[in-house]
Amino acid sequence: MLAIAQSAVLVGIASFPVRVEVQAERGIPTFELVGLAEAAVRESRVRVKSALAGVGVDISECRVTVNLAPADVKKSGSSFDLAIALGTLVALGVIPEESIANVLLLGELSLNGGTQSLRGVVAHLLGAKERGVVRAIVPRANEREASLVDGVEVELASTLGEIVDALRGQAPLRRPRAQKASAPASPLDDLADVRGQYGARRALEIAASGSHNLLMVGPPGAGKTMLARRLAGILPRLSREEALEVIAIHGVAGLLSPSASLAVERPFRAPHHTASDVALVGGGEHSRPGEVSLAHHGVLFLDELSELRRPALEALRQPLEDGFVTVCRMRLTVTFPARPMLVGATNPCACGNYGDGTNRCGCSPDAVRQYRRRLSGPLLDRLDLHVVLPRVDLLELQSGAGGESSAAVRARVERARAAQRARFRAGEVSAQANAHLSQRDVERVCALEAKGKEVLAQAVERRGLSARAYGKVLRLARTIADMDGATAIGARHVTEAVLGRVLDRDPTNGRPAETAA
Ligand SMILES: Nc1ncnc2c1ncn2[C@@H]1O[C@H](COP(=O)(O)OP(=O)(O)O)[C@@H](O)[C@H]1O
Ligand SMILES: [Mg+2]
């Protein structure tokens, strides 16, 4: 008879349903697998045959045909084993047909019938829930991930034998135990360790409050890396939905340890400046998410930004604009979410001493401009807020007086975010933070006081702000006003926002920089 089992394949972080049709009967021994299956899927035949023998079912005298539908979706991976094996058992009348009806079956089998953990369980279960699938059987090794999604009744199995027993109504399978969301194993670094750098601290807080991309410029040793690493500790904790999305992406990338639980802190990714385009934006042979997606809902920190190769900068441009990455591979188009906060750090010039007040910089004005130009164009344009860090004063470093703690700053950031959410709800805007407002929405929801309008008009005139830069100043000013608890944007909010775009000017002469947006 023809049996039908439900499985799924990952396309990006979307779980796409796959119907596994199995025809099995006594006959000339063959085992055919059709339906655009990659090599790893075809090897399933060997594993399934051996695993079935383990539960006492010999298919060496059977004619088995398996079709994976729909036929136009490429099937990769080894997680169809379970569905193929159980479909065969139904087709041979070993287990009842209705026992696997509308049950999502996922998992690779080993030759002795054991189930092997698979990638992307959270993504699969979220997809199943969306499709209205109410039951799923997954490998026992995926228990932690399986426990995170509610709305689907998940059962765990260590072996094919256990499943057969359960489906015949003998011993039921175990349900995943609920896991608690956990704080990171090692506590996050605290802002209290940073001495001085008040301007940069303020910029970091503004950036966090409105999810603005930030560029830090300063001499080596000023604390740029140190500050960036403390950003996750002042951003609001992940909501449950955000955490699930993050874990789905990391699961698809195969980056979750078996002990992974729902994270509360935002991801912080700091790829090296030599990272390839594929490593940064994703794609490649297995269509895995890149750093920009792994940092989704968190921070993508690009240290030594001026050293990043041009193609990498170019590749990041579109995702940062759209909030997602589309990678095409053969006939498959895969989309990954990609909305991190981008933080860049760079020296001000090749020697690193330009503008630190010590006159030690030996770079010519042209060389400084040249160095700055490397940043401009594709990326500088996407960095809303720029801050210049002075060299840290030795006295300040030794004085021992630390700054405010991350917890205190986070409390303020959360308040500013709450004000934004309330405004977005009232204005029926779908953004999460000011930085993500569209050009249209920014005009609509960012009301200016008369004085604020005046200052902004002056800035446009004097600094020659482009339309894009204008929008950025307005979003920044909105965030600064939110930190202030103000309903309308005032003059001082606009002034600080304009000052926060220092790189719109040529560093060597203070005129509007020709290369910036
Ligand atoms: N503002 C600061 N407060 C305290 N320590 C600092 C500060 N700036 C730098 N340091 C010390 O110097 C080290 C190097 O700083 P780092 O953040 O790597 O500088 P940068 O990235 O600007 O080159 C840090 O690990 C820290 O020990
Ligand atoms: Mg550094």
**CA of residue 460 to ligand 2 center, whole Å:** 33
- Flag whether 63 is in a domain: yes
Residues lining ligand 1, Cβ inside 6 A? 194-197, 218, 220-226, 345, 392, 397
**Residue 397 CB neighbour total at 10 angstroms:** 12
pLDDT one digit per residue (tens) for the chain, 517 residues = 899 999 999 888 889 999 999 999 988 899 988 887 777 777 888 999 999 999 999 999 999 999 998 877 777 777 899 999 999 999 999 999 999 999 999 999 999 999 999 989 999 999 999 999 999 999 999 998 899 898 999 999 999 999 999 999 999 999 998 776 666 666 778 999 888 888 999 999 999 999 999 999 999 888 999 999 999 999 999 998 899 999 899 988 888 776 666 777 899 999 998 888 889 998 877 778 999 999 999 999 999 888 888 888 888 988 988 899 988 765 667 889 999 999 999 998 888 888 777 778 888 888 888 887 777 666 777 888 989 888 877 776 777 667 899 999 999 999 999 999 999 999 888 888 999 999 889 988 889 999 999 999 988 888 777 777 888 899 999 999 999 999 999 999 999 998 887 666 565 665 655 443 3
What's the rounded Cα separation, in Å, for the pair 13 and 120? 8
Task: Give CA–CA dist 437/423, Å, rounded.
Answer: 12
Report which ligand 1 atom has the smallest distance to the Cα of 389: 22
Q: Closest residue (by CA) to atom 9 of ligand 1?
A: 223
Which atom of ligand 1 lies nearest, measured to the CA of 345? Answer: 21
In a domain, 512, yes or no: no
Residues 311 and 363 in one domain: yes
What is the DSSP-derived secondary structure letter of residue 375?
T
* Same domain? 145 vs 19: yes
Question: Can you tell me the distance from the alpha carbon of 120 to that of 114, in angstroms, rounded to the nearest whole number?
Answer: 19
Taking the centre of ligand 2 as the mean of its atom positions, its distance from the CA of residue 212, in whole angstroms, is: 20
Number of domains in the chain: 2
Instruction: Give residue 325 CA to ligand 2 midpoint distance, Å.
Output: 28
Question: Could you say which ligand is closest to the alpha carbon of residue 303?
Answer: 2
Q: In this structure, are 243 and 105 located in the same domain?
A: no
How far is the C-alpha of 190 from the C-alpha of 409, rounded, in Å?
10
Q: At what angle do helices 240-252 and 121-131 cross, to 10 degrees?
A: 120
Give CA–CA dist 33/332, Å, rounded. Answer: 21
Residue 437 lies in a domain: yes
Residue 225 C-alpha to ligand 1 middle, in angstroms? Answer: 7
- Which range of residues forms the domain containing residue 279? 191-504
Structure tokens at 137: 């059987």
Output DSSP code: residue 113: S
Q: In terms of domains, do 249 and 391 share one?
A: yes
Q: Which of 224, 226, 305, 395 to mutate to test the pocket of ligand 1 (most atoms within 8 A of CB)?
A: 226
Are 228 and 144 contained in the same domain? no
239/333 same-domain check: yes
Same domain? For 259 and 149 the reply is no
SS3 484: coil
Residue whose Cα lies nearest atom 6 of ligand 1: it is 223
Q: Of 132, 167, 202, which one is at a domain's C-terminal end?
A: 167
How far CA 113 is from CA of 20, 56, 76, 85, 170, in Å, comes to 19, 11, 21, 10, 18
Same domain (yes/no): 196, 155 = no
3-state secondary structure of 417: helix
Domain membership flag for residue 376: yes
In a domain, 141, yes or no: yes
| Same domain flag for 22 and 97 | yes
In a domain, 249, yes or no: yes
| 3-state secondary structure at position 310 | helix
Report the separation in Å between the CA atom of 191 and the middle of ligand 1, taken as the mean of its atom positions.
12
**CATH number of the domain enclosing 145:** 3.30.230.10
197 shares a domain with 160? no
How far, in Å, is the centroid of ligand 1 from the Cα of 147? 41
Residues 273 and 415 in one domain: yes
Peptide bond before 96: cis, by omega within 30 degrees of 0?
Answer: no
The DSSP secondary structure of 240-289, one letter per residue, reads HHHHHHHHHHHHHTT---TT---B-SPPEE---TT--HHHHHEETTTTEE
- Phi and psi, residue 474, nearest 5°: -65, -45
Q: Which of ligand 1's atoms lies nearest the C-alpha of 218? A: 22
The domain that holds 454 is classified in CATH as 3.40.50.300
| Residue 108: closest CA among 99, 119, 117, 95 | 117
Coil, strand, or helix at residue 391? Answer: coil
> In this structure, are 221 and 133 located in the same domain?
no
**153 belongs to a structural domain:** yes
515 within a domain of the structure (yes/no): no
